[in-house]
Amino acid sequence: MGILEDYWTAATRRLQIEADGFNRLVNHHGEVGRANELAVVSYFERLLPPNVGVGTGEVIDRHGNRSSQMDIIFYEKHRFPSLLAQGVTLIYPIDTVVLVVEVKTTLNQGEIADIGGKVRSLRALETSIPGRELPEFSVFAFHATVSPATTISHFRTLDEIEWPDSLCVVDPGLIGKVNPDRSDFNGEMVPLHKRDAITGDKILNEWEEVAVGGPAVFERGGATYPVSRLSAGMSGIRVAFEPGRALLLYSVEIMESLARRGLLEASWWQNYLDDATTNTYSISEN
């Protein structure tokens, strides 16, 4: 749907420009990462309803167990008192936390292993409220060092308990999530559709291809799109990707997560997504 996708393309560019601006100003690797976290926090704060707070720190349970340091923590701001917000140490009881997001500037195999350890530390905690589920764990990355298919294969090498619930790699355009039964971690590439030469409509399951040895970006209508492969091998077809649509679909997944916990109304936003918007290329097809 034109309006939604145009808006999210602009939102993605704004997020990337903000992060790139921080990166040019800051030389220290750790400070670059923190600046990028702040850009993502700002993005989420504009997305989330007022009953969901955003912070950073550690998650604890009533037994005194602690998670690793978490980049972004979503917690229920209106339903639970901030018993541990009287000092500078940021600690969140697991019973108040609904989602944790790990932010990576550049996602590689080593960073994925680090993510696995953080997921495991969160899932080792116990809630004290009967029937309350553990928080979901999500990964947001600006870039990846390898193709989308290879990135998903690296996640699949983790133990099942270490798989995040959802994933977004903005550049080139990759989303992922674990199966409901946690039997697999699936990835969906978000390539750029070809358009009908007469009507200009998007053609489902047909993508703008770029020749091997061609440019790293694809230009159309005054906009540029990153180029990557549809498979892990060097012989894979190169296509243009659509970061704005990837960010939109990831944002929908985040809202679905909050809706499952009763923090948002029913998924009315699905009514604004047409078949072309949700049309992706499954990693499992490779």
- Tens of pLDDT, residues 148-195: 999 999 999 999 999 999 999 999 999 999 998 889 999 999 999 999
Is 50 exceeded by the pLDDT of residue 31?
Answer: no
CA–CA dist 89, 143 (Å, integer): 31
Is 60 exceeded by the pLDDT of residue 95?
Answer: yes
Calculate the average pLDDT of the chain: 85
- Tens of pLDDT, residues 3-17: 666 666 666 666 655
Nearest 5°: the CA angle 117, 185, 265 is 95
Q: What is the pLDDT of residue 15?
A: 61
- Note whether 57 and 73 are within 8 A (CB): yes
Is 90 exceeded by the pLDDT of residue 245?
Answer: no
CA–CA dist 101, 70 (Å, integer): 7
- Note whether 96 and 75 are within 8 A (CB): yes
Q: What is the pLDDT of residue 270?
A: 78
End-to-end CA distance of the chain: 28
- Kindly list the distances between the CA atom of residue 238 and the CA atoms of 2, 108, 156, in Å, as whole numbers in the listed order: 25, 20, 23
Q: What is the pLDDT of residue 271?
A: 78
User: Residue 190, class by beta-carbon neighbours within 10 Å (0-12 exposed, 13-18 middle, 19+ buried)?
Assistant: buried
Q: What is the pLDDT of residue 28?
A: 40
Q: Bin 82: left if φ > 0, else alpha if -120 < ψ < 50, else beta.
A: beta
Closest C-alpha among 164, 159, 208, 213 to residue 186: 164
Domains and CATH numbers, the chain: 2-190+243-276 (3.90.1570), 191-241 (no CATH)
- Tens of pLDDT, residues 53-90: 888 899 999 999 999 999 999 999 877 655 555 444 48
How much of the chain, in percent, has pLDDT values that exceed 90? 53
Pair of tokens at residue 70: 């978490």
Pair of tokens at residue 10: 């602009």
Is 70 exceeded by the pLDDT of residue 238?
Answer: yes
**More confident site: 133 or 84:** 133
How much of the chain, in percent, has pLDDT values that exceed 70? 83
Is 70 exceeded by the pLDDT of residue 285?
Answer: no
Residue 60, φ and ψ in degrees, nearest 5 = -125, 165
Q: What is the pLDDT of residue 103?
A: 94
